Every structure is written in C-alpha cells, then in structure tokens.
Amino acid sequence: MTVCRLDKFISSQLNLPRSVCRKLIARGAVTVNGAVLKKPEEKITAETDEVAVGGEAIRYQKHVYIMMNKPKGVLSASTDKTRKTVVDLVPPALFRRTLFPVGRLDRDTTGLLILTDDGDFAHYVISPKSHLKKRYRVLLDAPADASAVKAFRDGITLADGTKCMPAELEISQENPYLVFATIYEGKYHQIKRMFGTLGLGVDELHRVSIGEVSLDENLREGDCRAMKNDEISLIYK
Ligand code: URA
C-alpha cells in the first residue's frame, strides 16, 4: 500500500504543482471518501481511499508507461537546454514531470521508445542481465550477406574490443540492403557499431519491438499512447 500526503497525491496524479493542490484543498474542493479534507498534510492510502477534486474521482495510477514512435531529430532525454526531447512530445493527458525515456535511441533513430516514471521497470528493460530482445529494421549502405548473419550469430567484437552477445540478423528476400537485427543488450550506438565492424554503414534505423511488444502501427512518428496492461506485463513479468 502507498501512503502519502494528500497534496502530493493530487499533484502526482493530476500533474499539478503542489502549490495549486494546496489551494484546491484549502478551498474545500477535495474530498476523501466523500468528506472534505482541508489539510494538505493529511495522509491517504492511494490504492484504497477515494480522492475527488471538484467532484471528479481520481483514478489512481502508480506509474505511467507510454509507447512512442520516436521521430528523427529528437533527443532521447527528459530535458535539454536547447533541443527538443522525447518528453517534450508527450501530450498533457499523459504527461508527468517525473517521466524519462527507457534507454536511448540515437537522435536520427526512429521507432519504439517507452517512457515511464517507473525506475524498476526501466532498469529491467535496459539491463543486459534481462536478455530482453530489441529488434531493429535497418537500411544499410551496401548489401548484407551470409557472412554478416554468421558474424551476428557468433557475437561481434566492436572496434574498441567490447564483446557483444550473440545476435540475430535476417536479410530481406527482396532487398539485401534491408535487414532486421535483434540484439539482447543495449550498448552505446550498438547497431551502428556492429555493422561498422563489418564495413557496413547504417542509413536508416528504426526499432520495431522490445521483448514481445511491437510498435503500434497506428502511431505516426512523434505520436504516443498509454501502454496497455498486457503490453507492460509482456515485458516486465
Ligand atoms: N543502436 C544504435 O546504433 N542506435 C540506436 O539508436 C539504437 C541502437
């Protein structure tokens, strides 16, 4: 059970500054289990107490999990002084000030990115110990062949000596420049560096799935939506 201050609870769930929440409480706009409470420091149990603001009940959500189709040109970060970040793209209805991207996609990479405020979930997704697969669609600057597939399967050693876990590479039947790469970890620029060791450059990189969860085809670049419970539990069992 999560026991917390009334003002903190409202602030986190409605994404309002605490000062605004305190004013709402003082004004008598907040009820807990039907009774008006006027003290912001009053403790409530998030899972069981029914808190309403202006007569509207708050549906408690401990954490948020957002699926985004990351567009090109946007940083995988929470904030940046000058450049646009993925958190800047989250619409107000899904936004929380504590949101951060789960791992990073390069600025020019598109596709599936999860944003959350759940540190344990993020740690699980990122940790190489979880062996969670990440699948990418890659457009190369030269055709791939069977030797690249074998190199992926054997485990590539990057130019700086870093060893990668065995990975999978599928070459499109119609177009040998188009491949699908599946890795089970997430080192810095990993896909580009893996192809680099094979003398292949990456022209386009797009993440299609994490674990068993694929990017929703209805999401256009820059769009996002709340993840469904079954999608969250497919990743984080
Ligand atoms: N590997 C890369 O090289 N870049 C990404 O954005 C993701 C994986």
Tens of pLDDT, residue by residue over 91-134, are 988 998 899 999 999 999 999 999 999 999 999 999 999 999 99
Cβ within 8 Å of residue 224, ≥6 positions away:
66, 67, 68, 69, 89, 90, 91, 94, 115
Which candidate in 49, 88, 106, 223 is catalytic? 106
Paired tokens of 173? 């039947």
Are residue 52 and residue 11 in the same domain, yes or no?
yes
Cα of 46 from ligand 1 centre, angstroms: 38
Evaluate whether 139 touches 177 at the Cβ level (below 8 Å).
yes
Are residue 160 and residue 191 in the same domain, yes or no?
yes
Task: List residues bridging with 31 in a β-sheet.
Answer: 36, 52
Cα separation of 176 and 191, whole Å? 17
Residue in 75, 112, 162, 189 to alter for ligand 1 test, most ligand atoms within 8 A of Cβ? 189
pLDDT band at 47 (very low <50, low <70, confident <90, very high): very high
Are residue 91 and residue 206 in the same domain, yes or no?
no
Are residue 115 and residue 140 in the same domain, yes or no?
no
The pTM of this model reads: 0.89
Examine the pLDDT at 71 and tell me if it is beyond 90.
Answer: yes
Q: Structural domain tally of the chain?
A: 3
Domain finish residue from 57, 75, 95 = 57
Judged by average pLDDT, the poorest of 16-20, 27-31, 188-192, 215-219 is 16-20
Task: List residues bridging with 226 in a β-sheet.
Answer: 66
In percent, the amount of the chain with pLDDT more than 90 equals 92
Cα separation of 138 and 204, whole Å? 6
Residue 226: domain span: 65-127+218-235
Residue-level pLDDT at 237: 75
Cα of 185 from ligand 1 centre, angstroms: 11
Cα separation of 224 and 227, whole Å? 9
Are residue 167 and residue 230 in the same domain, yes or no?
no
Average pLDDT, the chain: 95
Residue in 86, 105, 107 to alter for ligand 1 test, most ligand atoms within 8 A of Cβ? 105
Cα separations in angstroms, 31 against 8, 12, 15, 41, 60: 15, 16, 18, 14, 15
Indicate which atom in ligand 1 lies nearest the CA of residue 106: 6
Active site residue 106: yes
Cα of 14 from ligand 1 centre, angstroms: 34
Examine the pLDDT at 78 and tell me if it is beyond 90.
Answer: yes
Dihedral of the CA atoms 92, 95, 96, 102 (nearest 10)? Answer: -160
Paired tokens of 81? 């002084």
